[in-house]
Amino acid sequence: MTIAILPARLANQIAAGEVVERPASVVKELVENSIDAGATTIKIDIEKGGAKRIRISDDGKGIAKDELALALSRHATSKIKDLDDLEAISSLGFRGEALASISSVARLTLTSKPELQTSAWQANAEGRDMAVSIKPAAHPKGTTIDVSDLFFNTPARRKFLRTEKTEFAHIEEVIKRIALAHFDISFVLSHNHKVIKQFRAANSSIQRSKRVAQVCGQKFIDNAIEVDCEHDGLHLHGWIAQPSFYRNQNDLSYSYVNERMMRDKLINHAIRQAYADLLPSDAYPAFVLFLKLDFRDVDVNVHPAKHEVRFHQGRYVHDFIYSVCNQALKNELAFDVDHSTGEISPSDINHEAQHQLVDHDTSFVTPLRASADVSQQAHTATNIQSSGNSAERASNHENLRANGYASSANTHHYSPKINPQASKAYSDLMTPLAIDSQITEPELIQENNRISAQVAPAVLSASTEDEMTETTKVLFWQAPDYLLFQQQQSLRVLSVKKIELLLKLQTIKQRWHEKLVSQPLLLPIKISVSEKVAKFVQLNAEQFQHIGMDIQSLNNQKVQIRQFPALLRNKDVTHSFDRLIKQLDVESHDGVHADIDWQMALAALMLSEESSQAHALQIWRNAQRHFNCQFEQQLRLNSVALDLTSSINELT
C-alpha cells in the first residue's frame, strides 16, 4: 500500500466524526462562535429536529468579505496565533475545525456583515472539492449561518439520528447550558417556526436568579444555597441545592470552567464528595456552579467536544470545590429560619450539626497548594443570607472575599447575621495548613523567627528563657534528633523523637472519643497486600473508619482506600498504609488491637521527617508548654545521663 495525502473533503469528514455527533453538536459550535464574536442577541431556528435545517443568527462583529472563504477552510481561526495563545485560551472556539467539518457533511451558507463594511456577502460551500462561492447579500450587522440537510452525503451517519423530538430535546439542553453561562446575552430558540425558549439578557442578581429558575425550575432556586467564594486565583460561585432537593437522575448538574460548559470528572467527583454523607447512594445533587481561574492554569484542548479539561493543579482545584460546597451545606444544615420573627435560629433537627459547627467545625478539607506560604495566609468570613438581602462582603487580607452561602429561597426574608464560629471555621478553611486543622499540636506555634539560638561552635546559646528553666539548659543539638541539656548538675541526652511522639499521642487521645476527620481522595488507591492483611482490613473496617480511613478489601490480594486521615494529609497514602500495618504488626499479630495500639501507630505516622536544630528546639518548646510542671519528669524519662566519670579518670 502506498501513502497518500487524504483529499480535503475526506479529511474534513473524518474530523466531522468527532466534532459533529448530532444536530446539537452543530448548534453548540455555531452558538459558541457567535459568543466569541461578541454577540448580544443570538437566534436559533431549528426545523425537523435539526436534520432539515439549523439557522444561527447573531449581531456580533461579523466576518469581512476577504475572509469568508478562509473561514470555511480547515484549521483557520482568528482566535489563536501561536503556542502562547494555545496555552492560555480565553475563547470558546480555537481549533478552526467547526465550519469546515460541518460544511463537509451538510449544505452550509455563511452570510456576514461587519459594522464598517458597506454591504453583506454570502459564502456557500458545496461540491466534492468543497469550493466556496461568494456573492453579495442583504444582511444587517452580524452573521447568519444556515446549515441544511445534515448528513445528506453520509447516509450511515444519518441513520443514527433519533426522532425529531429527541434531537430537538438535545438542542434545547445545549441552549439551556449555554444560556446559564452567559447571562448578558439574549437567546431565542425556535422549532418549526415556533418560539420554544426565550432568554432575555440578565444584568442583575434577580434577573440571573430568574434565568436559573427558567432553566432549572423554580423549585430548584427555592431550595438553592448560593455560594460565592474566591481564594488564591480560584473563584467559585453559583447555586447548589439543599440535600432534601436531590434528583433520581443526573439532569440538573451544570458546571462551568471559565464560562465553558463542562462534564468534567474531577469537578463532579468533588461535588459528589461534598454531598457524600447527605444523599442516598442512588441520588444525584442539583447544582449550577461556575469556576473561574487563570486561563494558563487549565488546558481545554484535551477532548474533541471540549467537555473535559485538565487542571494544572487538579488536587488543589478538587479540594477547593469540595471545601466550599461542603461547608455551605453544613452551614445551611446548622441553622433554620424562624418564620414568625424572620431570625436565624439553631435548628433542633440539626442540633448535632450545629454543635459541630460551633465547637469544632473543621471537618472540611482545606485546599492544598504545594507552594503555599504560611506567611501569606488569608482570612475571610462567612455570611448566611437570603436572596432578598445582600450582606456586605467581608474585607480581608489581600482582598480575599467569600460572599458566604446565601439561601435563595424567595419565601425567606431575614436580616443577615454573622456567626463568629462559622466565620473562624471558614477562615481556617481558606488557610493553607502545615498540619490538620482539627487535630493540632497542643499550643503549637511556628516560632522559627524567634529561634535565636546559634551553634558557635557546635554549642547552642542558652541566652533566652524559651530554651531553659533555672535548672535546665539546652546546650547542644546532635543530628539527627538529639539534644544535649544540663539538668541541675548532670548532663543528659534527650531523644527529640520520643518527646514528639508523646505530643502526637496526647493530641490523638484528646480526640479519640470522636471519629477523626477524613480526607476524600480524588481517585481511590488500590494497594496489593497479603491475604492476612486483606483479612485484617475486612475485620477492622470500623476501626479504620474511626481513624479517618475509608478502606475496603477487594479480594485476598488487594485493598482500596477511598478516604485517608486528614492529619496525614501531607503523607504518601501507600507508604503511610504500609507503615501503619507494620506498626500494628499485622503479619504476626492475630488478636484484636487495643485502642492504645492504634493511637501509637497513628502517632508514629504523624512524626515529622524534618531533622534540624530549629525543629528540635520547636519540639522542646511545645513539650515545655504542654507538660508544664511535668516537663522535668518527661525529660528524665526520655533521656539518658552522660557518665563523664570514666572519661575524667582517663584524663587524670
pLDDT of residue 542: 84
Q: Are strands 490-495 and 482-487 parallel, antiparallel or unpaired?
A: antiparallel
Q: What's the rounded mean pLDDT across residues 224-241? A: 92
d(CA 535, CA 573): 20
Span 240-250, pLDDT tens digits: 999 999 999 98
C-alpha cell at 128: 466534492
Answer whether residue 232 shows pLDDT above 50: yes
Q: What is the pLDDT of residue 9?
A: 66
pLDDT (0 to 100) of residue 120? 96
Per-residue pLDDT, averaged over 470-485, amounts to 72
The grid coordinates of residue 351 equal 442540633
b vs e for 364-373, b when ≥16 Cβ sit within 10 Å of the residue's Cβ? bbbbbbeebe
210 or 424, greater pLDDT = 210
- C-alpha cell, 387: 436572596
Mean pLDDT, range 229-242, rounded to an integer: 91
pLDDT in tens, 40-88: 999 999 999 999 999 999 999 999 998 888 888 777 777 666 767 667 6
User: Between residues 571 and 424, which one has the greater pLDDT?
Assistant: 571
Strands (E), 366-453: 384-386, 402-407
Alpha-helical segments (H) within 366-419: none
Inform me whether the pLDDT recorded for 496 exceeds 50.
yes
Winning range, highest mean pLDDT, from 223-237, 331-345, 439-453, 462-476: 223-237
* pLDDT tens for each residue of 243-290: 999 999 988 999 999 988 888 889 999 999 899 888 888 899 999 999
| DSSP 3-state of 506 | helix
Average pLDDT, the chain: 75
Query: Which comes out higher in pLDDT, residue 378 or 522?
Result: 522
What was the pLDDT predicted at 566? 78
Query: Are the C-beta atoms of 302 and 346 separated by less than 8 Å?
Result: no
Distance CA 146, CA 160 (A): 22
pLDDT (0 to 100) of residue 196: 95
Residue 127 has pLDDT above 60, yes or no: no
Q: Tens digits of per-residue pLDDT, 168-187?
A: 999 999 999 999 999 999 99
Per-residue CA distances from 253 to 173, 470, 552 (Å): 12, 65, 29
Share of the chain above pLDDT 90, in %: 27
pLDDT tens digits, 294-312: 888 888 877 666 677 888 8
Residue 425: predicted pLDDT: 45
Map 164-191 to HEC letters. HHHHHHHHHHHHHHHHHHCCCCEEEEEE
Higher pLDDT, 113 or 307: 113
